[in-house]
Structures are given as structure tokens and as C-alpha cells.
Amino acid sequence: MPKTAKPAKPKTPALLNSLLQNEIARLSEIHGINTSALEEFAQFVITNHKVVIKPPKVKPLSLAQLKAAIYQHFSVKNTTELKKSGAFKMATDGMDGLNLSVKEGWKKLYRKFIGILPEEENQQGYGCINGINIFNYFKPWQVFGLDPQTATQQDIRNAYHRLSKIYHPDAPETSDAVIFDCLTIMYKSISAEA
């Protein structure tokens, strides 16, 4: 007789303490929400509070993919044509340290002319604001969390002031002059555009 897998035991719902039960009753009364829906949600949170949902790993672009994107952007077929292109020369004038013999040089071009590298989307850590690494990308609208089509000068000012309070050199615990300077440059840039 073949062995069959035993069905998984359903998890016993966590008991809701009196604090949670009182809060559920209060929210149910204020918002007219069914208490059983709130209890189910509380059970879900209790059961899953330690579960960390990791975004899927994104495979970095290969050197060939990076080159192809840059070639397409500048309407050329290869690196030799790219280096001879007047549009490329003008666009990269002033880009110090651009080395096309290494992958990092091609990444630098991709970041500037194409967009965010797939493996660098929604970044976290030092220098990352709203998923953008401000040291790799000049994306002020995304950094400030604004829509360039609808943002007003006041919206821009408010977003800048919100971030300034965090990174200003005088902020007691979170000051960072380098990040603050980058934010100021971004602010001036989009203020002139809007």
C-alpha cells in the first residue's frame, strides 16, 4: 500500500488578548466593520508577523545587454561607432572616469541615459531615498516622491523640507552633509523645471 502524505495540521488561531479585543470592538463601532473581519486580520498579523517577504532576485544585465541598450540609445551598431558619434561625445562631455573597457563604465552610461538598472530598483541602505541610490542616479522627482506632471512649487518645497529635516548637517542624529548637498542640488534642479 503506497504511503500518502499526512495533511498539514491547521494552525491553532492565536488567542487575542483583551487589549486587542477591546481595540477590535472600538474600531468595529467607529467604522461599522464586522468584528469577525477585524479578528481575522488580527489573527493573520499575529501568525505572519515574522514572515519577511523578500523581493525576487533580479538577474543583473550582462555586458552585452548593457552595450545593446546604449547602442540603441545612440543609434549605433558597435563601440567603434559609439566613440565616433557626435551625440555620444556631447552627451558624455564632462563624465569623468568613463572607462568603456570595464562593465562599470557601461553601467554608468546605462544609469545616465537609459534608466535604473533592474538589479538596482528599490534599493535600500546608505544614500537610498525612496528606493533610489542618490549617488548613482539623478532622479529628483522619484527621490522627492513627486509626480512631475502634477507637483506644484509648494509640493516640491514641502518634499525638500521634509528630507532636509532628516539630513541637514544640524540634525542631531541623522545629519549627513553629503546627502543634504545632493538633495539641495536636486531641489534646485526641479524647482527650475516646475
Distance CA(58)–CA(67), nearest Å, equals 19
**Higher pLDDT among residues 2 and 184, named by residue:** 184
Domains belonging to the chain, first-starting first, are 18-48 (no CATH), 63-120 (no CATH), 128-193 (1.10.287.110)
What string of DSSP letters covers 34-88?
A: -HHHHHHHHHHHHHHTT---PPPPPPPPPHHHHHHHHHHHTT-SSHHHHHH-HHH
Residue 127's pLDDT band (boundaries 50, 70, 90)?
Answer: very high
Query: Is-contact 24 42, C-beta < 8 A?
Result: yes
Beta bridge partners of 128: 133
Question: CA torsion, points 179, 183, 184, 186, in degrees to nearest 10?
Answer: 140
Place of cell 544609469: 111
Residue 32's pLDDT band (boundaries 50, 70, 90)?
Answer: confident
Distance CA(109)–CA(13), nearest Å, equals 53
**If you ran DSSP here, which 8-state letter would residue 11 be given?**
P
Q: Assess whether pLDDT exceeds 90 at residue 84.
A: yes
Residues in CB range of 82: below 8 A, 6 or more apart: 70, 71, 74, 76, 88, 100
Q: Which stretch of DSSP H or E encloses residue 128?
A: strand 128-129
Cell of 17: 488578548
pLDDT mean over 97-106: 93
**Higher pLDDT among residues 143 and 24, named by residue:** 143
